[in-house]
Amino acid sequence: MNGYIRDTMTIQEILPRRMQARELIGNQWFNGDPVFLSELHGQAALVDFWDYSCPASLRALPYVQEWHRRYRDSGLVVVGVHTPKFQFGRDPENLGRAIERLGIVYPVVMDNAEMIWATYGNRAWPTKYLVDRDGYIRCQNIGEGNYRSFERSLQSLLHDAHPQEELPDLMDPLRETDIPGAVCYRATPEVFGGYVRGSLGNVEGYLPESDVEYQDPGFYLDGRFYLQGSWRAERECTRWLGLPEESAFLSMLYSGSAINVVIAPPDRATASVIVEQDGLPLTADIRGDDIAMGEDGRSRLTVDMPRLFSIAKNREFGEHLLRLRPESPGTAVYSLSVVTAVIPDVFGSN
């Protein structure tokens, strides 16, 4: 059986009162004034380190938003710390648009210099902390999963602060893969486009910051991407430099149930990308949330800002060949991330 048990990310239960939470001194605040953890005044806090283009952060975000809705009147203060994964995440306009699009209403601080990230010793997105009424860090959760356990710890801190407060039942899992003990397929790991962390499969390889004419080899290895046409490899992305009438594309063989791409348009413009899977346009039943069907029968992605886009949502876990055909010169691909699925009729335990 090729699978793994979900909900096994690192979590520490209620910690002793030894470490005071550092203040969140960042570049700019959204959705309100700065929050000072040393001035909680009997409230508990949830500090969520996230990035608006990180797939793991976005999968965890609905839980954080629901906890804010459920517990804000019970003394919970939720703060998002946006530490950018890519350079475009440092732009306040991009982050402001993302916050609005995602419906985030609690305060968010920009951590462009990664100073808050460093003081907390973070290693991964997302990382969540619970801070008690006296400003001590009492719980940490790294990565996805363990949502019920984390919420149980959250309720414990709220109960300590307000013993008479009635709290709701724990949330049900939002996805099948979030059920504790769920056994999932091993999906293709996240693939990055830039030459620092990228996984380019073409024999031409990377020539950093230089224009290269790539030839698609016609055969593919899982977990690598392949190029056709004129592209330039930059630190964080691979950028198409051809002409609109040229036939250029990026191909990736992946194993998963769904796939997303972090992609950026050229110079704050809007870009268009034709998307194919297994040599065909995406059909209505498997196209991602950000794919539209054109009158020409092609499935097309419109890139309005640098962010993560939902490309395909297949009915079952399987192997597929994704192909992106950019139509706008300057379009840049930053990463491709794949979503797993639960193995039917298989259960695990933590």
**Residue closest to 126 by CA, chosen among 218, 60, 181:** 60
Per-position b or e across 334-349, b if 16+ CB within 10 A of its CB: bbbbbbbbbbeeeebe
When pLDDT is cut at 50, 70 and 90, the band that residue 14 belongs to is confident
Dihedral through CA 128, CA 131, CA 132, CA 138, nearest 10? Answer: 70
Burial code of 34-66, b = ≥16 C-beta within 10 A, e = fewer? ebebeebeebbbbbbbbbbbbbbbbbbbebbbe
3-state secondary structure 84-106: CCCHHHHCHHHHHHHHHHHCCCC
Q: What are 218's two structure tokens?
A: 């016609």
C-alpha dihedral sign at 274, 275, 277, 282: negative
Structural domains of the chain, with CATH: 3-180 (3.40.30.10), 191-345 (2.60.120.260)
Residue 193 has pLDDT above 90, yes or no: yes
pLDDT in tens, 196-209: 999 999 999 999 99
Closest CA to 260 of 175, 336, 177, 340: 336
Check residues 221 and 11 and name the one with the higher pLDDT: 221
Q: What mean pLDDT is reported for the chain?
A: 93
Binned at pLDDT 50, 70 and 90, residue 135 comes out as very high
- Half-sphere exposure of residue 307: CA atoms within 13 angstroms, side-chain side: 23
Q: Quote the CA–CA distance of 178 and 54 in Å, as a whole number.
A: 18
Residue 267: band (very low, low, confident or very high) from pLDDT cuts 50, 70, 90: confident
Residue 197 corresponds to which tokens in the numbers above?
A: 């962390």
Residues in the chain, total: 350
Predicted confidence at residue 7, as pLDDT, reads 46
In this prediction, what percent of the chain has a pLDDT beyond 70?
A: 95
Provide mean pLDDT across the span 323-349: 89
Q: What is the pLDDT of residue 93?
A: 97
The mean-pLDDT minimum among 28-32, 60-64, 123-127, 294-298 falls in 294-298
Closest of 269, 286, 270 to residue 278, by C-alpha = 286
Question: pLDDT digit string (tens) for 56-112?
Answer: 999 999 999 999 999 999 999 999 999 999 999 999 999 999 999 999 999 999 999
Q: How far apart are CA 227 and CA 250, in angstroms?
A: 5
Quickly state the pLDDT bin for 244 (edges 50, 70, 90).
confident
β partners of residue 347: 182
β-bridge mates for residue 256, sequence order: 318
pLDDT of residue 350: 45
What are the tokens at 175? 């996805």
The model's pTM is 0.93
Residue 150's identity, in one-letter code, is F
Q: Which residue has the tokens 């933590």?
A: 350
User: Could you give the CA distance from residue 147 to residue 178 in angstroms, rounded to a whole number?
Assistant: 8
Question: 9-18, 37-46, 48-57, 333-342: which has the minimum mean pLDDT?
Answer: 9-18
| Beta pairing, strands 11-12 & 342-347 | unpaired
Q: Which two tokens stand for residue 9?
A: 């990310």
Spell out the residues 6+ positions from residue 151 whose beta carbon is closer than 8 angstroms to its own: 63, 67, 170, 171
Phi-psi region at 340: left, alpha or beta (left = phi > 0; alpha = psi -120 to 50): beta
Neighbours of 243 (CB within 10 A): 9
Q: Cite the DSSP H helix spans in the chain.
A: 55-71, 92-102, 115-119, 147-161
Residue 165: band (very low, low, confident or very high) from pLDDT cuts 50, 70, 90: confident
